[in-house]
A = this chain, B = another copy of it.
Amino acid sequence: MRRWSVGVRDDQRAHQIETIKRVARQLLATHGSTGLVLRDIAREMGQTSSAMYRYFANRDELLTALIVDAYNDLGAVVERAEAKVDRNECFERFVATGKTIRRWALAHPHEYALIFGTPIPNYQAPPETIVAASRVVLVLATIVNDLPRKQHVRRVGSLNASDLEPGIGEFLVGVTPSQAGRALATWSSLFGLISFELFGHFVGSVKNRSAFFEASLEEFWKGLLSE
């Protein structure tokens, strides 16, 4: 029978897992996703590559852990930033959320690419990533849910209820499917802007990326609501 109190060994195990992931994130940041090599992580830690298999069954499991962590890290940072804003100021909450997502993306470009960039070939994301992924989405959804006058959320013209998944009603409450569609499009636009910037598609056109992002963010909000 397993002891239910957490002993020294368990502590060290958890600590070691954290170290592996920290080093992995470091390599990710310096060498890109190609640099995520088990042997390099072990070398960096002064250990053998086979030691890694005490903590992760294989490379994909480590990758999953990093993806889940990235979603959670972004989620936590955004939740914290958004929570600081007056609950009644939905626009300010939206701006804080957007700016925080962008700041996190710029600070962790490779982790951002991991979760919002090209899917990794031959890698199937397990369900646990979906749970972690929903955190940021939930922040944005809550802002819409907290709007005092929901009828002001613009509809997406020719969108029917059947065009969206039924589950969407649990996230976005008190709005019509057509309005939910507008919210989805707004989020997609937000991440589109960040991806375009991060992946180099504003080279030669946008100079002051922060100013452009923040100005666009404001317009996205205006577009979400009807005057």
List chain A positions with a Cβ less than 8 A from chain B.
31-35, 113, 116-119, 121-122, 125, 130, 154, 156-160, 162-165, 167-168, 171, 181-182, 184-185, 188-193, 195-196, 199-202, 204-208, 211-212, 214-216, 218-219, 223
Contacts and interface: CB of A to CB of B under 8 A. Distances in A.
Contacts of A130: 204
Nearest to A155: B219
Contact of A188 (B122, B167, B196): B196
Contact of A165 (B199, B205, B219): B205
A122 B206 CA distance: 24
A160 B211 contact: yes
Nearest to A211: B163
13 contacts: A33-B121, A119-B200, A125-B200, A156-B216, A156-B219, A158-B214, A160-B211, A165-B207, A182-B219, A184-B206, A185-B193, A192-B195, A195-B195
Contacts of A181: 206, 212, 215-216
A33 B123 CA distance: 13
A98 B163 CA distance: 19
A204 B43 CA distance: 40
Contact of A207 (B117, B162, B199, B211): B162
B118 A118 contact: yes
A14 B158 CA distance: 48
Given A182-B219, A189-B188, A192-B196, A167 B204 contact: yes
A110 to B, nearest CB: 9
Contacts of A212: 156, 159, 163-164, 181, 184-185
* 7 closest Cβ pairs, A-B complex: A192-B192, A32-B121, A117-B118, A189-B189, A163-B208, A113-B118, A159-B215
